[in-house]
Structure 1
Amino acid sequence: MTTTRPIPPAVFYPFGAGDIENDRSDDGSSSVIYLLHHFIFFGQTYSQIYVNNNGHLTFNGPFHSYTPYQFPGYGEIDLIAPFWTDIDNEGNGVISYRQYTSGSVLTEATQDINQYFPELSFSATWVFVATWDRVAYFPLSGTETSFQVVLISDDLEDYLNKMLKVFYHNLSQAGYDTINSRYHFSIPGSFSNNITNLTYSSNVNVPGRWAFRTDHGSRGCQFNGNVFAILLKCFYLFP
């Protein structure tokens, strides 16, 4: 038996109708997705992306790993992990994605970014939304986990939003890592029972939300231009 806390309607960006769905496949991935707007990730410019079923995004190819490593991993890939764990959508759940260049989603993204970076005058021109909706944790078929990652850009700056409803499990990693871990961040609570504290933790004085800029790496390194933010809105499903 599980106990859930309902998700307010405003937690996730719109998803479902009009999305492209990944195949139902344990440890699967999308095919290559060509971005309608380039995305800059800590100095690297990408024009394609992959939505991997086990809760991460990669840029240069699909990534099938279901066992997360702790960041920094000093690996060979750039990796965005809204919630990296062992997910199996063969029995239940839908993994989907969609790009936007106009409409209400851009308005919502613009409002979110300006709220957390009030010193900027930001106007979103492109949004990429990937959603894991009520997917199961392997091998516990019938469990439900939902989370979402949103890439946002205007003509000058790039952002990453994360919104999560997460299944409670020790082997989970939330955050980001880059090639050789020059820039990386592990959301506190990853790989521990304290993953539930994401509901209350923050670095922008808003419980459950985190924001980072790509011109400030986790080791204090800086480089010019381009921004992304991680905004966490967390709700939990307990076994």
Structure 2
Amino acid sequence: MLSYYRRRTPGFISDIIIMRLSPVSQHLLVFISVLSLKIITWTNSAVSALFYPFGSAAGDTINAAVDDGSSSVIQLLSPFLFFDRTYQQIYVNNNGHLTFNEPSSAYVPYSFPARGSQDIIAGLWTDLDNRPRGVVSYNQYTSGNVLTRATQDINTHFPNLYFTASWVFVATWDKVAYYSLTNTETSFQVVLISGRNFSFILMNYGDIAVTRHLVQAGYDTINSTHYFVIPGSNNGSSISNLRNSSNVNVPGRWAFRVDGGSNSNKGNLTTHYHQFVHHHNVLYPEMILLRWPRELNAQKNKTN
């Protein structure tokens, strides 16, 4: 049976379709879209294509395999403007987040808005452990194919800016385990891109293992003047859906303009979501479908 819902919240209209299959069917197929219904397909090759070059083959610097560890201070080859502050350095923390003024060993993520004293970019902040498996690495570029690709991506995701990338920083967590769960693998990437007075963040997600650890993905500034939580990213039981969600119509990618310029991110809050849910897994998809428009509407209000 096919059910159709239209839910209105201030400033948002969300179309929701729920397909109920007979008990003998093996899967429930759910499509969600805020503002308009679009079907997004996903394949392993599509997800791997999201990632910028990484690892030893790309000449990355690799973080030491230390629980709750961090990189040493990384001097940026070009200043990075993050809303009201310009940074010349950064730290890549093994637990899935970037900080600017000092490294962070925190394995329990702050709930954004934290109204704290530091700027944080959280690709997937949780209790990760690169000792049993996985690699945390980083690199930065000021020329070459990576800049060409970044220029194309930003102009696709943020049209009419006529942007040209002059610097790219890539941090990758490749098949890293959760702490005490050595058989798990989680892969994601945070890409910082700048050029002229523009700054952007891409968050790319591959396979993300479910977890009981607390999780958080998004960003938060000092005093939470600006913050964003990727909808659903603070629920470890459904965190694997990051590889299917997007605000730029590319499954597994979230893109943000973070220089604080006019209308930053206002045009990029439409989320498309494509999920296969096993019918025996009691996730109450109707509840998920009704919750997402509220979450996206809240994110929209933060940018106004």
Query: How many positions carry a matched residue from both structures?
Result: 224
Q: Please, which runs of 5 or more residues in structure 1 have no aligned partner?
A: 217-222
Residue matched to 1:6 = 44
Judged with a 3 Å threshold, the aligned counterparts in structure 2 of structure 1 residues 108 and 31 are, in CA distance, closer, same or farther, namely same
Q: Does 1:173 align with 2:216?
A: yes
Give the aligned partner of residue 164 of structure 2: 123
Letter in 1 for 2:181: L
- Residue number in structure 1 paired with 2:154: 113
Task: Report the secondary structure of 1:210's partner residue.
Answer: strand
Farther-moved stretch of structure 1 (146-155 vs 47-56): 146-155
Root mean square deviation, CA, Å: 2.7
> Aligned partner of 2:220: which letter?
D
Cα distance, 1:206 vs structure 2? 4.2
Q: Which residue of 1 aligns with 2:257?
A: 213
Secondary structure of the residue that 2:185 maps to in structure 1?
Answer: strand
Structure 2 counterpart of 1:211, one-letter code: A
Within 5 A, what are the aligned runs for 1:88-237? Answer: 88-165=129-206, 166-170=208-212, 171-192=214-235, 193-214=237-258
In structure 1, C-alpha distance between the alignment counterparts of 2:245 and 2:146, rounded to whole Å: 26
Residues 35-78 of structure 1 deviation map (CA, whole Å, 9 limit, x = unaligned): 00000111100000000000000000001100112111111110
- 2: distance between equivalents of 1:80 and 1:125? 21
CA distance in 2, matches of 1:76, 1:55: 19
Which deviations, in whole Å up to 9, do the C-alpha atoms of 1:183-222 show, x marking residues without a partner?
1111110222343443444433444443333366xxxxxx
Q: Which amino acid aligns with 1:214?
A: V
Matched residue SS, 2:50: coil
**For residues 102 and 205 of structure 1, what CA distance do their matches in structure 2 show?**
27
Question: Once the 2 structures are TM-superposed, how far is the Cα of residue 107 of structure 1 from its aligned partner?
Answer: 0.7
The secondary structure found in structure 2 opposite 1:10 is: helix
Structure 2 match to 1:63: 104
User: Is the CA contact 1:157–1:225 (under 8 Å) kept in the aligned structure 2?
Assistant: no
- Answering whether residue 122 of structure 2 is matched by residue 84 of structure 1, we say no
How far apart in 1 are the matches of 2:220 and 2:72?
22
Q: Is the partner of 1:211 in helix, strand or coil?
A: strand
Please report the TM-score for the alignment, with normalisation by the length of structure 1: 0.85
Residues 122-148 of structure 1, C-alpha deviations (whole Å, 9 max, x = no match): 111111001111111010113211111
Between 197-206 and 18-27, report the one with greater CA deviation: 197-206
Deviation at 1:93, TM superposition (A): 0.9
CA contact (8 A) 2:95 2:126 kept: yes
Equivalent residue number for residue 288 of structure 2 = none
Cα shift readout 1:101-130 (whole Å, capped 9, x = no counterpart): 111111110110000111111111111001
Query: What residue in structure 2 maps to residue 75 of structure 1?
Result: 116
* Residues 159 and 181 of structure 1, relative CA distance in 2, 3 Å threshold: same
> Which shifted more, 146-155 or 162-171?
162-171
Deviations 1:23-43 (A, max 9, x none): 010000000000000001111
Whether contact under 8 Å (2:191, 2:203) holds in the other structure is yes
| Structure 1 runs of 4+ with >6 Å offset | 229-232
* Residue type of the alignment partner of 2:228: F
Percent of aligned pairs sharing the same letter: 59
Q: Aligned letter for 1:118?
A: P
